[in-house]
Amino acid sequence: MSGEVSGARSGRAGEPMTASATCGGYTFVGASISAHTTFVYCRALDVIFDMGSFVEEMLPIDHVLVTHGHQDHLLALTRYVGLRRLQHMRPPTVLVPSQIEGPVRKLFEVWQELESDGLRKPPEMDLVPVEPGQEVPLSGEFVVRAFRVEHTLPSLGYTVIQRRHKLKPEYHGRPGHELAALKAEGTEITTPLDTDLVTYIGDTSPETLDRVSDLGTSRVVIVECTFLTDEDLPLAEERGHLHIRHLVDRLERFGDAELILTHFSRRYRPQDVELLLRRHWPESQAHRVHVLM
């Protein structure tokens, strides 16, 4: 089992402890404990998945992808936006399910009213309401595609894609000035070449795993694993979360992806999580599993 809990956690005074997992060529850092907090960030991809808490290393990252409106996934968003404003940084881009765009705007309006001392500028961000299937550009050659997630609130998952452009075969060997002229005329001389890098599911019921057809096309899948003991299986079904059985029974759905498991219930101590995962997870598949909590 990769991504050992013990020895992997760190944090500044006054900030939540974080853990890290390196897989698929990227390092993911964050914390995720059910009902307490969830946030996962990747500096190389310039994204933060959810914003239940905030650590200073997240401040330079420009894109926040919010899955749903529960506080443990959203609570620190005003702090992040406010600190970026204080540091005179450009407004971040924040993606949210379209159903919660209005409430999130109201949240910031209320916070601005609370802080209206005449000295502070209003918080600024590019708040983007997103529908399933919609694509939004990120930094450089990265884009993100949203998909519907089954949970107790309107929810989205996100797949970060590296999109490069390859010259179409019919234009191979053409001199550069001809290609430039064709492009200036509006001719499409390239075709997109997509690589799915990471899929972040967030809180979900097993129905999402059964429905999303391209779940195993990413190098990395970050997915919750809230409940781990046999007696807690009914709780998973009642609360719209995953039990470890739901994942083990669907391992083929993830293809060759490495998995980062998150959102463990607070009823389990860190050492219990490692023990229970080893007990339930097939030993032959242990090398592809990482823990972030």
pLDDT per position in the chain (293 positions), as tens?
654 443 345 566 678 899 999 999 999 999 999 999 999 999 999 999 999 999 999 999 999 999 999 999 999 999 999 999 999 999 999 999 999 999 999 999 998 888 877 666 777 999 999 999 999 999 999 999 999 999 999 999 999 999 998 888 888 888 888 888 888 988 888 888 999 999 999 999 999 999 998 888 999 999 999 999 999 999 999 999 999 999 999 999 999 999 999 999 999 998 899 999 999 999 999 999 999 99
**Is 160 a domain residue?**
yes
Q: Which pLDDT score is estimated for 203?
A: 97
Annotate 133-151 with DSSP letters as a single string. Answer: T-EEE-STTEEEEEEEE-S
Going edge to edge, which strands form the sheet with 155-167?
A: 135-137, 142-149, 155-167, 190-202, 220-224, 258-262, 289-291
Question: What is the domain range of residue 148?
Answer: 19-45+64-69+132-291
Contact 135, 194 (CB under 8 A): no
98 in a structural domain = no
Predicted local confidence at residue 112, as pLDDT = 87
Residue 81 maps to a domain: no
Assigned domain for 53 exists: no
Whether residue 107 lies inside any domain: the answer is no
CATH of the domain at 139: 3.60.15
Number of domains in the chain: 1
Q: Report yes or no on 94 lying in a domain.
A: no
